[in-house]
Amino acid sequence: MSCQRLQDQHEELQSAAVDPGSCLFYSRSGRRYGITLLGSRSAAASFLGAAAPEFTRSRSNAYRIDYCPWSGRLLPAHLEDERETVCEQELGIVRENYYDDWPRELTNKEMWWIERGIDRPAQPEEAPNSWVPGEYRVRFFDLFGFYPRGGLWRSKEAPPHLCDTMESAFADCRVMITYIPWTREYGIRQVDPYRTIDLQSVRMRRIAYCPWCETELPKSLKAEWLGRTAGDGFDRSDRHLPPKYLSDTWWKELGL
Ligand SMILES: [Zn+2]
């Protein structure tokens, strides 16, 4: 069980997992990794009206990942079924009372499975097979009633690497993964958990590997983008940047 704890993972994964602003999710007791799924009060209000809940950042509401986004290594299998077995058979907690009787040793701690020597071979979950290769679309646009803004923003250009499960993640703009077409960068979002997500600009930790199929993602073009926009006399925050520098057009034209 040498590489199964959080402390055995890539340092960037460890850092993101303990960073309250990071949308990288790790449940220590269930050993599950994911990307946080966020809602937005203002977006929810458009169809729920006054009944819309306050914006919350639910740590348990995450889109699972199979590979470390920084090392490409297969992550350990989750132990949620094993945890249920321990609860019911060893600790005698019946399912209906999980939330009332949940023992402290199982609350966001890894030790319960280490001490018992519980493990399961790492294996990616079976991906649904409904995707048409090359298809890129973002669902939930209609649900929100507007093109996602701010924190719900999605690239209109298809990311160069797109597999079945990544397509599903991008299709749902609540999943806090992002792709920036002009710098060709993928990332897991950094957010202020106390502000409504669609009022926030996109900040992220850049990732190097697809979290669902371990493919190494294409190299970032940020340095080239900064160089070329500066060379053309623009500042990076210039409002009048030519449209080609706000899409993937410039690097595709150059064959990068
Ligand atoms: Zn992939």
Report if residue 86 sits inside a domain: yes
Cα–ligand 1 centroid distance for 211 (angstroms): 7
| Burial group, residue 161, by CB count within 10 angstroms (0-12, 13-18, 19+) | middle
**What are the pLDDT digits (tens) for 19-31?**
988 999 999 999 9
One domain, residues 69 and 145: yes
Cα–ligand 1 centroid distance for 209 (angstroms): 8
Cα–ligand 1 centroid distance for 13 (angstroms): 18
Cα–ligand 1 centroid distance for 223 (angstroms): 24
Report if residue 103 sits inside a domain: yes
One domain, residues 11 and 35: yes
One domain, residues 12 and 72: yes
One domain, residues 147 and 94: no
Report if residue 234 sits inside a domain: no
Cα–ligand 1 centroid distance for 205 (angstroms): 17
Q: What is the rounded end-to-end Cα distance, in angstroms, of the chain?
A: 42
Cα–ligand 1 centroid distance for 67 (angstroms): 10
One domain, residues 16 and 35: yes
Cα–ligand 1 centroid distance for 63 (angstroms): 14
Q: What is the mean pLDDT of residues 121-131?
A: 71
**How distant is the alpha carbon of residue 35 from its chain centre?**
3
Flag whether pLDDT at 80 surpasses 80. Answer: yes
Report if residue 33 sits inside a domain: yes
**pTM of the predicted model as reported, rounded to 2 decimal places:** 0.84
**What are the pLDDT digits (tens) for 154-212?**
888 899 999 888 988 888 878 889 999 999 999 999 988 777 777 788 899 999 999 99
Q: What is the mean pLDDT of residues 50-75?
A: 72
Averaged pLDDT score across all residues of the chain: 82
One domain, residues 58 and 105: no
Flag whether pLDDT at 144 surpasses 80. Answer: no
Q: Which helix (H) or strand (E) holds 14?
A: helix 11-18
93 pLDDT band, cuts 50/70/90, is: confident
Report if residue 186 sits inside a domain: yes
Cα–ligand 1 centroid distance for 101 (angstroms): 39
Cα–ligand 1 centroid distance for 56 (angstroms): 29
One domain, residues 128 and 187: yes
One domain, residues 87 and 182: no
**What residue numbers bound the domain in which 91 lies?**
81-109
Number of helices and strands (H, E) in the chain? 9, 6
Number of domains in the chain: 2
Report if residue 27 sits inside a domain: yes
One domain, residues 99 and 23: no
Phi/psi-derived region of residue 18, left when phi > 0, alpha when psi is between -120 and 50, beta in every other case: alpha
Report if residue 237 sits inside a domain: no
Q: Enumerate residues with CB within 5 Å of ligand 1 (an ion).
A: 163, 166, 210, 212-213, 215
Radius of gyration of the chain (CA): 20
96 pLDDT band, cuts 50/70/90, is: confident
DSSP letter, residue 129: S
The percentage of the chain sitting over the pLDDT mark of 90, rounded to a whole number, equals 46
Cα–ligand 1 centroid distance for 166 (angstroms): 6
One domain, residues 99 and 205: no
Report if residue 50 sits inside a domain: yes
**What are the pLDDT digits (tens) for 224-247?**
999 999 998 888 777 778 888 989
Cα–ligand 1 centroid distance for 167 (angstroms): 8
One domain, residues 71 and 92: no
Cα–ligand 1 centroid distance for 201 (angstroms): 25
55 pLDDT band, cuts 50/70/90, is: very low
Cα–ligand 1 centroid distance for 50 (angstroms): 39
One domain, residues 154 and 43: yes
